[in-house]
Structure 1
Amino acid sequence: MSIEVISILFIINIIGFIIMGYDKNQSRRKGQRIAERTLFLIAATGGASGILLGMNAFRHKTKHKSFTIGIPLLLILNLLSVTYITKYIQN
């Protein structure tokens, strides 16, 4: 896998983690929240592990079935996609 792909995935996951912390903080302060759709979009584009780590670190969205089921499924999809890209497209 190229350094560019690794860098992009790393950045997306860092963003996902930070956004979960930000949304938790906004939730406590009754501020403007990040749309769940946006959180799922970040997870679907390769940031599922960052979102999942953020969920657990900040104890945010951990009681929502859509997140406790959806984000791990997107993580599996992310891993399958990276495996496919690494194995079939880059060779």
Structure 2
Amino acid sequence: MSNARPRPPLATPDRPGRDLSQPLPPALSWIALLVFAVGIAIAYLVWGLAWWVPVLYGAASLVAFAAYGIDKSAARRGAARISEQTLLLLGLIGGWPGAIVAQQLFRHKTRKRSFRRVFWGTVAVNVLLLGVYVYLVAGGVFGF
């Protein structure tokens, strides 16, 4: 006998072929956001991260937040949507903190497993690139 929980259906009768699963616990998203905020604050205050980096994240986050809100509204109305590629690109260029807030507040893009996987992959790539930048430039290796 298996202890595995039954998985929810990948599709519903009204929307066949949807890749739905249980959303991740919201606390994981909020914790990731908190860890990032603390990390970027430390990089700014201790290692001299350029002022424009947090500003870039803030501006990109506002755009991503708005895009998720617009897309959720369009989904409810059955109107033209913002493509997943656009939402993912906004996250990749630094808007992922705003995207996380929007996902949680609007309950948007939290159940589609394929989107979540790619989204968190773009977050990892973005944070990795920021870490390399902090190490090489702000951390003093090149001292720009």
Q: Would the aligned equivalents of 1:43 and 1:74 in 2 still touch at CA under 8 Å? A: yes
Counterpart of 2:55?
7
Q: Are 2:117 and 1:69 aligned?
A: yes
Runs of 4+ in 1 over 2 A off after TM superposition: none
| Identity across the alignment (%) | 27
* Pick aligned residue for 1:57 from 105, 111, 121: 105
What's the CA shift string for 1:52-72, capped at 9, x where partnerless?
A: 221121111112112221212
Over aligned residues, Cα RMSD in angstroms?
Answer: 1.4
TM-score by length of 1: 0.87
Tell me how many residue pairs correspond in the alignment.
91
Between 19-28 and 66-75, the greater mean CA deviation after superposition: 66-75
Counterpart AA for 2:77:
R
Q: Which has the higher contact order (CA 8 A, sep 6+)?
A: 1
For 1:56 and 1:33, how far apart are their aligned partners in 2? 19
CA distance in 1, matches of 2:91, 2:103: 12
CA distance in 1, matches of 2:114, 2:92: 14
Structure 2 CA distance, aligned partners of 1:44 and 1:8? 12
Q: TM-score, normalised by structure 2?
A: 0.58
- Answer with 1 or 2: which has the greater Rg: 2
Q: What secondary structure is seen at the aligned counterpart in 1 of 2:64? A: helix
Describe the SS at the equivalent of 1:85: helix
Structure-2 separation of matches of 1:16 and 1:38: 9
The runs of 5 or more residues in structure 1 that have no matched partner are none
